[in-house]
Structure 1
Amino acid sequence: MRTLDGRYRLDGRIGVGGMSEVWRGHDQVLDRPVAVKLISPGRDDQDGLVDRIRAEARSAARLVHPNVASVHDFGTCSTWPGRPAPYIVMELAEGETLAVHLRNGPLYWQIAVRVCAEVAAALAAAHGEGIVHRDVKPANVMLTPSGVKVLDFGIAIAAGALDPMPTGMVLGTPAYLAPEQLDEAPATPAADMYALGVLLYYSLTGRLPYQATTASELLDVRRCQPPEPLPDIAGLPPEVAELCHSCLADDPERRPTSLVAALLLAEAVDARVYVPMTIPTPRRQAPISAWTERAAAQATEAVAFRGAAEG
């Protein structure tokens, strides 16, 4: 058992990644459970790493949304002499990840669409703040009794910013990376929308929209072949299938925004999602179909109604 800064008690490790590990902890000052993400100290440019993680924690802390796991605090701890390791204290989301649920096969389409509607709503909140998640995948989607929580904005970055990683290294999970990310283009909200399309496809079918058995084979297939179309799914509204197809477009300009996706998916299952009160100026986008315009109009009406209701 360890305690960070005399405040955060680490009770047990609950996850390990390539550059970090997540612990179940307890905030002894506020007497509440928390999740603590410890970042590997690395060997070089330690000051740069701490500054980058601090900036990312500040960005994520701005996000206040029911489908986003909140960030509470940031600090550093000494793991080796002269090598402080940054850590981020977050809301502890109780439940199981979408990845765990998908081990048993695809979800019922109504559940899959509802989950992805809430993920899209979380992304709309982030995109409204100029933040791109960059690692939307089943392991970062927690299903809790109160709904979906999108986890781990640990590699989030400002929209349009160049990746601070060394040339040739791209952060993220290969199957969910947009084509432009593979070419190391600046991060944009459209990259998250590609990942949402893969997430929706996987949730509906239990497999990726590409046939590959290894990460290298997957990258090769991604560069040479378009994603496979969704198979017929009984009862699935055609506008959901079209949204999934549009999210997987190679051209970022052809992908719908997170706001439109959240509202359309929620409408398909008669659910409600929380969307930002202000709608950012839309980027140029090729027309998809009439339902896109309808969803955008409904977004405007929903925001206007909420603004009037709140005075």
Structure 2
Amino acid sequence: MEAPESPTSSSAPVLLNIGGRKYATTVETLTQREPDSMLAAMFSGRHTLPRHPTTGAVFVDRDGKHFRHVLNWLRDGSIPALSDSDYQQLLKEAEYYQLLGLDDYINEKLASKKADDSADAELTRKDVIKCIQAQKIRFRGLNLSGLDLSKLDLSEVDFSYACIERTNFSCANLHKAKFKLVEAARSLFEQANLHECEFTGANLQEAVLDRANVQSANLQDACLTGCSCIETDLRSSHLQSANLTGSDLSGANLEGANLKGAKLPGANLQGANLQRAYLREVDLRETDLTGAKLGGANLLGAIR
């Protein structure tokens, strides 16, 4: 069988084999949008291209996975939203085929995504430090998500209603700080001083409070599901109606804490100190109390 002839017009179909993947397009698509590219040069008619003897397909030794995006770019001038890793791989193909427009497009997308990722917080760590130094210490309702505020003196600062998800407060001094109704999921408070803080109604889901000082803090109605409170000092803390489902309180000191109506199903309280704690009407189903100290605890009406 004779090999198919080379296309004689810009609208004639062209068969491509890119690393084993088959594509069909036209000379017009390959040459119009990026006229200075390697693909445009290949199909300009100035070069003789080796073709498969039966199919007539032109073989290019590249990964064919992302070539569909190359063709979409050449056809429409756009590509769908991709993950960062896919953008990086497509960028390599754009560089190989010398598609300068696609190269610029991808770099703009990556820069935009980076800007979006860093634009979550309304302030930077430096901004926060300046506010502290100027004694402007109210951050009510602000978005401070993802900031590193570790080791700062933030005592008595008002964060009420703020969004502080994934914020790092490790080793910070937050004595008497206010966190009423904050969104603080997955934030870090490891070894922080939270003595007498207010967390009423706060969302602390999957937050880390390991070895923090949370003495006499008000966590009433707070969501602490999946929290890590390993060896946390919670003496005399107020946890009425708090949701501690699945939290890790192993080795925590809850002496004299008020947990009336709290939910603790599936929580880990191994070795915890619950002496003289107020546990009336607490849900303790599937809670691990191995080695826990319960001397003087009030368990009237607790569900076990």
Q: TM bucket by the smaller chain?
A: under 0.3
- TM-score, scaled relative to structure 2: 0.24
User: Per residue, is there more helix in 1 or in 2?
Assistant: 1
Query: RCO (CA 8 Å, sep 6+): is it higher in 1 or 2?
Result: 1
Which structure: greater strand fraction? 1
Select the structure of larger CA radius of gyration: 2
Q: TM-score scaled to structure 1, two decimals?
A: 0.23
